[in-house]
Amino acid sequence: MPILVGLGARPRELGHIPLEGFVDLRKFAPFAGAAVLSVSVLAGCGGGGNDDNTAAGGSSDASCALAGAEDPGNSEAPSDVPTADKAPKLTKTSGLKVAFSQNASNNPWRLAETASMKDEAKKQGIQLTVTDANNDQSKQIADIKGLIAQKPDALFIAPITEQLANVVKDAGAAGIPVFLLDRAVDDSVAVPGQDFVTVIQSDFIQEGKRAAVQMATATGGNAKIIELEGTTGASPAIDRKKGFDDAIKECSGMQVVVSQDGDFTRAKGQSVAETLLQSHPEATAIYAHNDEMALGAIAAVKAIGKVPGKDIQVVSIDGEKDGLKAVAAGDLYATVECSPRFGPSAFQTMKDYASGKPVKTLIINSDQLFTKDNASDNVDKAY
């Protein structure tokens, strides 16, 4: 279950003037990088990559401070963040009818999130309608329009991409308090705390940084990396790329040689990895924005007779059951947790809002890191 550690709000750097007091998680990037650097320098472990696991052809780069550095962990909670004062109010506290627009049901992460929402609604005796957009943006827009027409007391939305901002704004304009789950929308279009109440999510930039430290450690700071991106335009795809790409700039031996959309799915991850492994035979590593794509990529690596964890180091994000098994088996070097269990925090936030408690316009989950040291112990608990 995600633990709520921080409250904040993120404006977009798209030319609009941010509301006073908003905090952009992206601004924290340089500080997190500096923290990683100082940890590794103090520990005297620059280049202290795990030599046993270092991908073939890559000798350790002593100047790469990320290699062997401690996991930077969760980001600092942004402090100066406004509360959702101007969003539609929710005054009903009993007999609530709420809705959840889920963006897909095509992977264990999505299924676990939906199950968590349903479980919590049931526990609280709240009627919950769930729609599934099948990973199709126009279907999700239609789903949400249909839900708006039903006038739910509150609406949870897990948006496919940031472009869902317009329909989120429509819901707000219809007087429905909207709570975004796990992905953000373009906040130059739909303003947090005004058009919608809040977004509950992990800090994806930090996830990218944490993945970069694992990758540097796995490869000794020398890696030619294939990056499998999540769905183009989805906030975790944008931010996981930024966090990782920025972090590895510290290490001249690490380069992303090619980066392509794998749509967060295992099948697409596999087919894209197959193509990219062929066009980039020099690749020694794969950074996948989620476990499903990493698992597809691992299959692609094996299919060309290379050994994941030896010839090609793979690092990803999520912590699903198959991902943890892959870590335990040595196919996946590490996975940064991104918990899908939103039910308790989503409904608690809604209740707080209904009872007039201040709710911040961004709520950041706290996640752990899974490596070979703890993966097996967590398999049973995973989804």
- For ligand GYE, the binding residues (CB under 6 A) are 107, 109-110, 182-183, 236, 264, 290, 292, 317-318, 338
CB of 126 to ligand GYE, least distance (A): 23
Our CB check for ligand GYE shows the closer of 53 and 105 to be: 105
**Under DSSP, is residue 312 helix (H, G, I), strand (E, B) or coil?**
strand
CB of 107 to ligand GYE, least distance (A): 6
Distance CA 255, CA 343 (A): 38
Our CB check for ligand GYE shows the closer of 318 and 322 to be: 318
Q: How far is CA 53 from CA 215, 305, 323, 329, in A?
A: 11, 18, 18, 13
Our CB check for ligand GYE shows the closer of 35 and 327 to be: 327
Our CB check for ligand GYE shows the closer of 82 and 323 to be: 323
Q: Looking at beta carbons, which residue is closest to ligand GYE?
A: 290
Our CB check for ligand GYE shows the closer of 60 and 290 to be: 290
Q: Read off the amino acid at residue 15.
A: G
CB 276 within 8 A of CB 258: yes
Our CB check for ligand GYE shows the closer of 6 and 220 to be: 6
Instruction: Determine the Cα angle at 369 with ends 256 and 293, to 5°.
Output: 45
CB of 206 to ligand GYE, least distance (A): 13
Our CB check for ligand GYE shows the closer of 75 and 290 to be: 290
Which class for 309: exposed (0-12), middle (13-18), buried (19 or more C-beta within 10 A)?
buried
Considering only CA atoms, which of 165, 171, 187, 220 is closest in space to residue 333?
A: 220
Distance CA 219, CA 284 (A): 8
CB of 264 to ligand GYE, least distance (A): 4
| Cross-strand pairs, 100 | 130, 156
Q: How far is CA 260 from CA 21, 252, 269, 273, in A?
A: 35, 22, 9, 9
CB of 93 to ligand GYE, least distance (A): 29
CB of 319 to ligand GYE, least distance (A): 9
Q: How far is CA 351 from CA 89, 124, 126, 150, 281, in A?
A: 12, 10, 11, 21, 53
Considering only CA atoms, which of 286, 292, 285 is closest in space to residue 269?
A: 292
CB of 350 to ligand GYE, least distance (A): 19
Distance CA 152, CA 16 (A): 31
CB of 308 to ligand GYE, least distance (A): 19
Our CB check for ligand GYE shows the closer of 66 and 295 to be: 295
